[in-house]
Chain A
Amino acid sequence: MNKQRNEISRERIFDAIRAAAPTVTADVKAIQNEALEILGESEFARPALLAEDAAEALTLRIEAGLVIGTSCEKIASLDQLPDSVNQFLAKYALPAELKVQEIERLKALNWDGITTEVDIKNDNTVGLCWAEYGIAETGTFVVHSGPDMPILLNFLPLYLLAVIPKSKILPYMDDYALIAGEIAQRGETPRNMCLISGVSGTTDIEGVLIQGAHGPEVLHIIIVEDQ
């Protein structure tokens, strides 16, 4: 019954569209070319980056305070990450414990003196995640859901550290969209692709910006230069 109702509504909608715009049936290739032509205009319709180098542009954007609640630092190699994490925890007077994303390259680091397993369902926790990409235009890091990337790791902790490999920092959102298109072509699209540009914020009470509405209040981006 529901299936039948669904089919009827579907047909009704398509019939109404075709009746309203009888010229819609066109050759698919022509539609694709028209769509591609629009993308050709992006070069003149996007903001200038703060530096030519994408990693530098992303850093400058964060340092200029343009990414809400976010700080950043560069480290030469991944083995320096535990030191950076320690400094971050000390800066905010936090206990030496956080949830480290369970991927081999992070787990393999020397975490002596730091607990790397906490329940992020509790509030006031710290999370550390590995970003797939960075985007200079918007000061963004991108995460993809997967067996070793719980999406909630980026949303439940009050403090979040995100590691971005320098080589994966893209200039514009358009560049990430192209990569996402290629991933889709390979049939490997993850369930979630999250573009995160700052901390959880709200202006819903008297227009005043408050950080840490539901998710992180503080975000620290660590760019790893040799990755």
Chain B
Amino acid sequence: MQANKPENFYQNVKDALAQPDLKMIIRRTTDKAEAKRAEAIANFPGFENARKQGQKVKDHTIKYMDHYLAEFEKNALAQGTIIHWASTAEEASKIVLDICRQHEAKKVTRSKSMLGEEIGLSHALDNSGIERVETDLAEHIIQLAGDPPSHIVWPAMHRSREDVIKLFREYHKDPTYSEEIIDLVRSARRDLRTKFLTADIGISGSNFLLADSGSSCTVTNEGNAELTITPPKVHIVTAGIEKLVPSMAHAVPLLRLLTRSATGGEITQYITFHNGPKRQNDADGPEECHIVLVDNGRTKMLADGMEEMLRCIRCGACMNHCVVYKHIGGHAYGSVYPGPMGSVLTPHLNSLEVANKQTHACTLNGRCEEVCPVNIPLPKLLRSLRAQSWDKKYEPLTNRFVVKAFAALAKRPKLFQLVSSCGVIFMRLCSRQGWIKSMPLAGGWTRNRDLIEPESKTFMQQYKAMKKAKSDGA
């Protein structure tokens, strides 16, 4: 599957809505995640306090980001880690490729990292002729399918069991002929095990960077990060600069929030802090450790007053609860980051000019903000991006005309009432048995659902009639 482009958002949405099973497949996972999160939070009465604490940890680190970045660098260097800085995605990718080439790497294993996707590392590795092995099961599935990820926690949620059966039979050395999910997972276990043990370089992301020790932290349920990182001679971490926290103690409240918000579990099975290369006489571990610290638009977010978005811990709760995401899935957004958080991030990582339509794919119902574990005001940020998009004239001419016409009408009450009463008459003429199935100028709505017939009088007509009846009665 070719990756969609963010600028083709409307066409991407049409394509997604035309897929008969997509909505059902997405909801199977997101609805379960929603229910499990609700249960986890009901069992944790201190959750609201934890959210406030988590928000404070992130805000504090962002406020003093230069201090903590310098601390992190100093302490990581002291552990023997080699630190690299990358302003852009291209730079970050090039740094990783250069390290791979220096070590003449033929095979690299990767544990899931959205930052890795963001900087285009998968393509860069593929194009350089190095064998790339994705070790997270979902990433393994989408690598075999040639798909981009469709969710930040479950990247293969758009793929059904039937798809996985076909892929594993085609690509695994010793595939299963069973259709049971456990046998499919065992097939992947067999296939990946030798790859873990024979890779030249292991590449991971990092959920947290601890400033006071220079550690990176991986969080997984599968344990694939440790299996990716430990056997090869070289470990490369790619991480966004916003992953910083002051210390392990500050990562703890965020760990409490992350799993509950992402999967509804209380904690992930594996949390590992990685502190540089192996020590002398260590039984295993990489001999060399590199951390690539990536900006790629993050300092611009700071400058643009979008620093609240830098709190994001990538739990995916906002997309699990988003009515738009649940209909169109992740690929329609045309970005590594879909859903509400993606609609705020993508304009900064790419540009608002190409990703402004996504900011309108939101009902502003506020669910994303309600469930965000670090209280990111996503609707406010989306509204602010809409305003910027308007100011920069990125909106299509028809939209600009309609909004301006509405503004002109709204400033002239008598004309507004006349037009709206004509509108009501027109809509009722188009209606059959209480529903409007099609109507000129409303195809965008009626193409996918019916519109309810309006009341016979406008609000103002009813209000005036009510007022008159009251005064007549008096």
Give Cα A173–Cα B275 distance, bound, in whole angstroms. Answer: 19
Contact of A6 among B49, B64, B85, B270 (CB under 8 A): B85
User: Interface-forming stretch among B223-231, B359-367, B408-416, B432-440?
Assistant: B223-231
A76 interface contact, C-beta 8 A: no
User: A42 touching B53 by the CB < 8 A rule?
Assistant: yes
| A68 CB contacts on chain B under 8 angstroms | 269
Bound-state Cα–Cα, A9 to B298, Å: 14
Q: Does B169 contact A (CB under 8 A)?
A: no
The CA of A201 and the CA of B263, in the complex, are separated in Å by 12
- Any B CB within 8 A of the CB of A94: no
Question: Which among A79-87, A105-113, A161-169, A188-196 touches the partner chain?
Answer: A188-196
| Minimum CB distance partner of B33 in chain A | A207
Give A121's nearest chain B residue, CB to CB. B197
- Looking at the assembled complex, report how far the CB atom of B300 sits from the nearest CB atom of chain A, in whole angstroms: 7
From B87, B185, B196, B224, A9 is in contact (CB under 8 Å) with B87
Q: In whole angstroms, how far apart are the Cα atoms of A140 and B65 in the complex?
A: 31
| A45 contact from B50, B185, B190, Cβ within 8 A | B50
Do B275 and A147 have beta carbons less than 8 Å apart?
A: no
Complex Cα–Cα for A13 and B86 (A): 8
Which residues of B have CB within 8 Å of A2? 98
Query: Are A203 and B161 neighbours in the complex by a CB distance under 8 Å?
Result: no
The CA-CA distance from A26 to B66 in the complex, in Å, is 10
Q: How far is the CA of A224 from the CA of B121 in the complex (A)?
A: 46
Among B87, B197, B283, B293, max chain A CB count under 10 A is at: B283
Do A200 and B49 touch (CB < 8 A)? no
For the complex, count residues of A whose C-beta is within 8 A of B: 81
* A24 and B28 within 8 A (CB): no
A215 x B223 contact (CB < 8 A): yes
Contact in complex: B64, A140 (CB < 8 Å): no
Nearest CB of chain A from residue B241's CB, rounded to whole Å: 7
Contact with B along A138-176 (1 / 0, CB 8 A): 101000011111111011100000000000000011100
- Please name all residues of chain A whose beta carbon is closer than 8 Å to the beta carbon of B248 when the two chains form the complex: 177, 180-181
Nearest chain A CB to B194 CB, angstrom units: 9
**A151, B49: Cβ atoms under 8 Å?**
no
* Closest A residue by C-beta to B30: A207
Query: When chains A and B are docked, how far (Å) is the Cα of A203 from the Cα of B182?
Result: 11
Complex interface: chain B residues within 8 A of A199 (CB): 269
B271 sits at the interface (CB 8 A): yes
Contacts of A191 in B (CB 8 A): 274-279, 282, 285
- Could you tell me if A16 and B250 are in contact, using CB atoms closer than 8 angstroms? no
**Distance, CA A48 to CA B307, complexed state (A):** 33
In the complex, which residues 60-97 of chain B have their Cβ closer than 8 Å to any Cβ of chain A?
60, 63-67, 69-70, 79, 84-87, 91
What is the 8 Å Cβ interface bit string for chain A, positions 105-137, against chain B (1 contact, 0 not)?
A: 000000000000000010100000000000000
CB distance from B425 to the nearest CB of A (A): 49
- Which residues from chain A contact B246 at a C-beta distance below 8 Å? 35
Chain B residue at minimum C-beta to C-beta distance from A15: B299
Max chain A CB contacts within 10 Å: which of B84, B223, B256, B293? Answer: B223
B: interface residue count bin: 35 or more
Q: Does B184 contact A (CB under 8 A)?
A: yes
Q: Which residues of B contact A24 (CB under 8 A)?
A: 63-67
Closest to B293 in A: A13
Most buried by A among B33, B154, B241, B247: B247
From 241 to 288 in chain B, residues with beta carbon under 8 angstroms from any chain A beta carbon are 241, 246-253, 255-256, 263, 266-279, 281-285
Which has the most chain A C-beta neighbours within 10 Å: B154, B156, B256?
A: B256
What separation, in Å, do the CA atoms of A145 and B186 have in the docked complex?
28
A151 to B286, CA, bound (A): 11
CB contact under 8 A between A204 and B138, given known A13-B241, A45-B49, A215-B222: yes
Contact A151 B285 (CB under 8 A): yes
Instruction: List residues of B (141-193) whose CB comes within 8 Å of A's CBs.
Output: 141, 154, 156, 160-161, 164, 181-182, 184-186, 188-190, 192-193
Q: Can you name 28 A-B residue pairings with CB atoms under 8 Å?
A: A12-B87, A14-B70, A16-B303, A17-B66, A20-B302, A24-B64, A34-B60, A35-B250, A41-B49, A42-B253, A45-B253, A46-B253, A66-B266, A121-B197, A138-B266, A145-B284, A155-B230, A177-B251, A190-B279, A194-B271, A196-B269, A197-B269, A201-B222, A202-B185, A204-B136, A205-B161, A213-B221, A215-B222
The 10 closest A-B pairs by CB, nearest first: A16-B299, A150-B283, A20-B302, A20-B303, A45-B49, A215-B223, A177-B249, A9-B85, A204-B138, A45-B50
Chain B contact residues, CB within 8 Å of chain A: 28-29, 32-33, 43-46, 49-50, 52-53, 56-57, 60, 63-67, 69-70, 79, 84-87, 91, 98, 135-138, 141, 154, 156, 160-161, 164, 181-182, 184-186, 188-190, 192-193, 196-197, 212-213, 215, 221-224, 226-227, 230-231, 241, 246-253, 255-256, 263, 266-279, 281-285, 293, 295, 299-300, 302-303, 307
A residues apposed to B, CB below 8 Å: 2, 5-6, 9-10, 12-14, 16-21, 24-26, 28, 31, 34-35, 38-39, 41-42, 44-48, 66, 68, 121, 123, 138, 140, 145-152, 154-156, 172-174, 177-178, 180-181, 184, 189-208, 210, 212-216
